[in-house]
């Protein structure tokens, strides 16, 4: 199991990023919110781009924005492994996925808890990652939705059926207990569980 650490709940981002950089965490998960697709808003790109000063880890970028085409070229500039946006956006999904791939970055689609898994089918050939939301996107510290375990199973079945080699990521309320319901995922995102602790590495170890 790979671990992607989110700093959404951090009170001291530079300090926490430096501490995460000293762990063996696989990715830094960037939550990007525009105040439109979700109510909350994260720091602008002119500040976010300075993340390289604090960490050399590869980035797992999660765009919770209504206009992915505007944000993809920006985050493609960084040390980014994956860029993921939401299937629920009112844009040309295929165009967005192709734009990500044009930068030689892996492309992902995120799906909210109430969106049917079957809606992913038309885009499966373009996907390197599917991000299953186990909370409603837009805020840290929420509780894991237990139905997400079944949704992971459904995604895994879909990938097997269509013979798609994409990873499954899960995001929201993941801790040492809820991770037991994430066995069908390849990557887990964890935020407050890691960031609010005194020993980041210990918490990361419990998620693997």
Residue of 38, 204, 30, 62 whose CA lies nearest to 131: 62
**H-run or E-run covering 147:** none
Q: Rounded to 5 degrees, what are φ and ψ at 109? A: -120, 135
Catalytic residue among 26, 60, 128, 171: 171
Cα Rg of the chain (Å, integer) = 16
Catalytic residue among 31, 34, 60, 128: 31
**H-run or E-run covering 161:** helix 148-162
The reply to whether 31 belongs to the active site is yes
- C-alpha 91 chain-centroid distance: 20
What is the Cα–Cα distance from 158 to 138, expressed in whole angstroms? 26
CB-facing half-sphere around the CA of 199: CA atoms within 13 A:
5
What residues have CB less than 8 Å from 197, skipping those under 6 apart?
203
Tally of helices (H runs) and strands (E runs) in the chain: 7, 8
The reply to whether 92 belongs to the active site is no
Residues annotated as catalytic (active site), given as ranges: 31, 171
């Amino acid at each position: 199991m790979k671990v992607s650490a989110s700093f959404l709940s951090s009170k001291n981002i530079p300090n926490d990023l430096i501490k995460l950089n000293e762990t063996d965490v696989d990715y830094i998960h960037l939550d990007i919110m525009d105040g439109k697709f979700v109510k909350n808003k994260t720091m602008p790109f002119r500040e976010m781009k300075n993340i390289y000063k604090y960490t050399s880890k590869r980035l797992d970028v999660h765009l919770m924005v209504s206009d992915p085409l505007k944000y993809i070229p920006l985050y493609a500039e960084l040390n980014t492994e994956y860029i993921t946006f939401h299937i629920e956006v009112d844009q040309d999904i295929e165009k967005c996925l192709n734009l990500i791939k044009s930068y030689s970055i892996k492309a992902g689609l995120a799906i909210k808890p109430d969106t049917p898994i079957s809606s992913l089918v038309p885009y499966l050939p373009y996907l390197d990652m599917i991000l299953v939301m186990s909370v409603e996107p837009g805020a840290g510290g929420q509780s894991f939705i237990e139905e997400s375990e079944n949704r992971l199973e459904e995604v895994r079945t879909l990938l097997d059926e269509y013979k798609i080699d994409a990873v499954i990521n899960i995001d929201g309320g993941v801790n040492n207990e809820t991770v037991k319901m994430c066995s069908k995922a390849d990557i887990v995102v964890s935020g407050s569980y890691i960031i609010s602790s005194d020993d980041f590495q210990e918490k990361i170890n419990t998620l693997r």
